Amino acid sequence: MSTTKPMDADEVRNYVAAKWPSALKSPVAVAFRDASDEMRRDAQKHAENCLSARDGWDVETLSFNIESSFPELDADECDEIARLAIASQS
């Protein structure tokens, strides 16, 4: 039984960059990164709209809402987006 935690998206990106530096420069990787950046921007806008629509959000519920609307993002990314959106409203 392994006790190591799974890597999050940033850790995987850093590992790939260290192990295979040219892999992240391929046309497919660049297109994926651009799409991922756009999706994160859309998720951030979604979070801001949720916060504007009603009060009472905490990181956990906002993150779950983001994850439900953007299943391509993992839970860590949704948590980060929720934290940043709530912090920007304070």
pLDDT tens by residue, 10-35: 788 788 889 988 877 888 777 777 77
Structural domain spans, the chain: 26-89
Note the pLDDT tens digit of each residue in 62-83. 999 999 999 988 898 999 999 9
Q: Is the predicted pLDDT of residue 7 greater than 70, yes or no?
A: yes
CA separation for the pair 67, 79 (Å, rounded):
9
Note the pLDDT tens digit of each residue in 27-57. 877 777 777 888 999 999 999 999 999 999 9
Among 89, 90, 9, 85, which Cα is nearest to 46's?
85
Among 58, 20, 4, 35, which Cα is nearest to 85's?
58
Q: Are 88 and 70 in contact (CB under 8 A)?
A: no
CA separation for the pair 40, 81 (Å, rounded):
8
Question: pTM for this structure?
Answer: 0.67
Length of the chain: 90
- The angle, 0 to 180 degrees and rounded to 10, between the axes of the packed helices 75-89 and 59-69 is 120
